[in-house]
Amino acid sequence: MLSRTADHLFWMARYMERAENTARMLDVNYQTSLLPQSADRAEQGWLGMLGISELTGAYELRHGKIDPRHVMDFMVRDETHPSSIVSCLRAARENARAVRGTITTELWETTNQTWLEFNRMLRQVGFERDPSAFFEWVKFRSHLSRGVTVGTMLQDESLHFIRIGTFLERADNTARLLDVKFHALNGDYFGHEQPDDAPEIDFYHWSAILRSVSGFEIYRKVYRNVIVPEKVAELLILRPDMPRSLASCMNGVVDNLSLVANAQSADTQRRAGRLKSDLQFGRIDEILATGIHAYLTHFLDRVNDIGAGISRDFLVSA
């Protein structure tokens, strides 16, 4: 396969997944902002949302003071940065158009229709009227795109590069969400005495975070007890049967990398396999003992390194 084609397929998938993850993070922030809490805590939640995508400085240059509506508008319709939903959906469509002859007609029509319908909804003020419904729509269109991809494409290198992009982007976003939310909700006080009202206050926030990764019902099924930060971390980091966990994502990356391996990709495969093994045999008590922020920061560095290796080995033309 031409590296140019592989590059378009890889980034088409990453941008569609990034649009969904941005919608998920915005929705959880919007839902938690409606809960009883101090103004400072609410503002920290929106700052954390910007921090996940490393956009705090860009936002402050354009809008200054943190305002929920401005943050959502910035992350949905602002075309000046690549993490907004409008930028992601446009980039996904443009990459799909560039490889129109490689993907199926159904996948192209799904991607193109998502872009057209998204712009129509923005013009009709659907986003401002009901943000949660709008974010659910973005998530649904991403789900539809993945379903059409797996259900209509030949299981060859094209599909494998799409899947690599999806899993790599999902791993990055899950780690960022966990890192910021654990910090914002005092997730690093494991083993320390908590305020008397902490369980009641945090239950709704942890529930919202689990729902943001479609993990609330899975948590109840797996653990069958009250929501505690340690178990949330274990579910979203180490459980390979949780679709959006770090372990599940890295399993997907490694499996698909092995199917497109070439003469120069051995080192990238080794790095991805080692990260997969660390997650497979890791223990949540060891992770929490060393500090979840340090662990997730190191994980993000390793994921970015793997992404750079994939670009070097497969995607960049000589």
Residue 240, both tokens: 């390979």
CA-nearest of 17, 8, 15 to 244 is 17
CA-nearest of 241, 219, 221, 242 to 231 is 219
pLDDT of residue 95: 97
Rounded Cα–Cα distance for residues 98 and 5 (Å) = 8
Rounded Cα–Cα distance for residues 201 and 192 (Å) = 17
Q: Among the listed ranges 191-195, 234-238, 247-251, which one has the minimum average pLDDT value?
A: 191-195
Tens of pLDDT, residues 265-296: 999 999 999 999 999 999 999 999 989 989 99
Rounded to an integer, the average pLDDT of 87-97 is 97
Instruction: Note the residue count of the chain.
Output: 318
Residue 173, both tokens: 């976003």
Rounded to an integer, the average pLDDT of 30-47 is 77
Kindly report the pTM of this predicted structure: 0.90
Higher pLDDT pick, 299 / 290: 299
Q: What are the residue ranges of helices labelled H in 99-130?
A: 105-123, 126-129
Confidence of residue 318 (pLDDT cuts 50, 70, 90): very low
| Sequence letter at residue 249 | C
Q: Among the listed ranges 120-124, 197-201, 313-317, which one has the minimum average pLDDT value?
A: 197-201
pLDDT of residue 184: 67
pLDDT of residue 185: 64
pLDDT of residue 189: 43
Q: Please state, rounded to an integer, the average pLDDT across all residues of the chain.
A: 88
Confidence of residue 199 (pLDDT cuts 50, 70, 90): low
CA-nearest of 27, 155, 19 to 93 is 19
Rounded Cα–Cα distance for residues 98 and 71 (Å) = 32
Q: Among the listed ranges 32-36, 45-49, 52-56, 255-259, which one has the minimum average pLDDT value?
A: 32-36
Tens of pLDDT, residues 218-227: 999 999 888 8
Q: What is the DSSP letter of 192?
A: S
Q: Among the listed ranges 131-135, 150-154, 232-236, 237-241, which one has the minimum average pLDDT value?
A: 131-135
Strands (E), 112-257: none
Higher pLDDT pick, 126 / 175: 175
Rounded Cα–Cα distance for residues 107 and 112 (Å) = 9
Residue 94, both tokens: 């443009």
80: exposed, middle or buried (C-beta count within 10 Å: 0-12, 13-18, 19+)? exposed
Residues contacting residue 105 through CB under 8 Å, at least 6 positions apart: none
Cβ proximity of 257 and 268 under 8 Å: yes
